[in-house]
Amino acid sequence: MKIGITGATGQLGSIVVEQLKGKTDAANLVALVRSPEKVEGIEARAFDYDKPELLPESLKGIDKLLLISGNEIGQRARQHENIIKAAKEAGVQSIVYTSILHADESTISLAGEHLATEKLLADSGITHTILRNGWYTENYTASIPPSIEAGAFIGSAGDGKIASATRTDFAEAAAVVLTSAGHDGKVYELAGDEAYTLSDLAAEISKQTGKDIPYANLPEEEYSKALKGFGLPDAFADAIANWDVSASQGDLFDDSKTLSSLIGRPTTPLSEAVKAVLA
């Protein structure tokens, strides 16, 4: 059985590939990427979400496809449609798609494109599984070094509970679904076992560094302005601040423990994720 992985050299995709190597022969794996020359150890094929005329050929012989959502916000529904149409033309038997937690009710701006993709899959007639991934813990731990330098961790999430998990946790879930039976037609809401607030995160950083790093909750506009001051593009800074507001409303919380059930172990604790960054 051939398993194709889109975005296989990306932050999530590269970990999925490593997880899959532990569950199936490398000869069964195909990296679908823009730059095949960057791939080592498995077959690689050129794959560009914006070149629909070339996609069916790249998908020939693929039985299962992991469609990792694209990273171009605002373009993803169109790009995903290109891939789903090509998959149908190429005879792909099933698709596993990385969506977003509670896509059907989330206020996070990213949810719309994910929900549109879920509908495209439903309408395609292709057997599929939806992995509604929660927030990556790395989305927040990436801010640890500048927070230590600044002496505070800033955000707009208030007391919102965030049930994040690491990319490795989510990648392992994808690998499990791709290599085992019983997942067709399922929608999995995936999140970390332990929820935390950004105040909790700041406290953990303080504990591990021995420094006082408080959490400063800012109004959305102020947080966005601060991010722009750090050099983030305006649109991205606005989006991050808005996502934090959604987090304050509970959009990043889930306590079903579906993720840990799928991977057969507890999700990575926040303390370990912080420790990894500080190391």
95-141 pLDDT, tens per residue? 999 999 999 999 999 999 999 999 999 999 999 999 999 999 999 99
| Rounded-to-integer distance, Cα 216 and Cα 211, Å | 15
Give the confidence band of 158 by pLDDT, cuts at 50, 70, 90: very high
Residue type, 60: K
Instruction: State the Rg of the chain over Cα.
Output: 19
Give the confidence band of 250 by pLDDT, cuts at 50, 70, 90: very high
- The yes-or-no verdict on residue 258 having pLDDT over 90 is yes
State the average pLDDT for the chain: 97
Q: How many domains does the chain have?
A: 2
- The yes-or-no verdict on residue 72 having pLDDT over 90 is no
Query: How large is the average pLDDT for residues 4-23?
Result: 97
Q: Residues with Cβ < 8 Å from 68, sequence gap 6 or more?
A: 5, 6, 7, 10, 12, 13, 16, 98
Give the confidence band of 221 by pLDDT, cuts at 50, 70, 90: very high
Tracing tokens 């801010």 back to the chain, one arrives at 143
* Domain limit, last residue, from 112, 133, 154: 133
Residue type, 7: G
- If asked whether residues 154 and 79 sit together in one domain, one would say no
Residue type, 189: E
- If asked whether residues 147 and 195 sit together in one domain, one would say yes
- If asked whether residues 124 and 200 sit together in one domain, one would say no
User: Contact, 97 vs 115, CB < 8 A?
Assistant: no
What was the pLDDT predicted at 74?
84
- 78 within some domain: yes
Q: Is 10 exposed, middle or buried (0-12, 13-18, 19+ CB in 10 A)?
A: middle
- If asked whether residues 242 and 128 sit together in one domain, one would say no
| Rounded-to-integer distance, Cα 110 and Cα 189, Å | 16
- The yes-or-no verdict on residue 62 having pLDDT over 90 is yes
**pLDDT by residue (tens digit) across 167-183?**
999 999 999 999 999 99
What is the torsion angle, in degrees rounded to the nearest 10, for the CA atoms of residue 212, residue 217, residue 218 and residue 224? 80
- 185 within some domain: no
What was the pLDDT predicted at 73?
84
Least confident of 88-97, 178-187, 229-238, 245-254: 229-238
- What is the CATH classification number for the domain harbouring 10? 3.40.50.720
What was the pLDDT predicted at 205?
98
- What is the CATH classification number for the domain harbouring 196? 3.90.25.10
- If asked whether residues 154 and 55 sit together in one domain, one would say no
> HSE (CB half, 13 Å, CA atoms) of 45?
19
* Domain limit, last residue, from 133, 153, 171: 133
User: Contact, 106 vs 247, CB < 8 A?
Assistant: no
- 126 within some domain: yes
- If asked whether residues 158 and 277 sit together in one domain, one would say yes
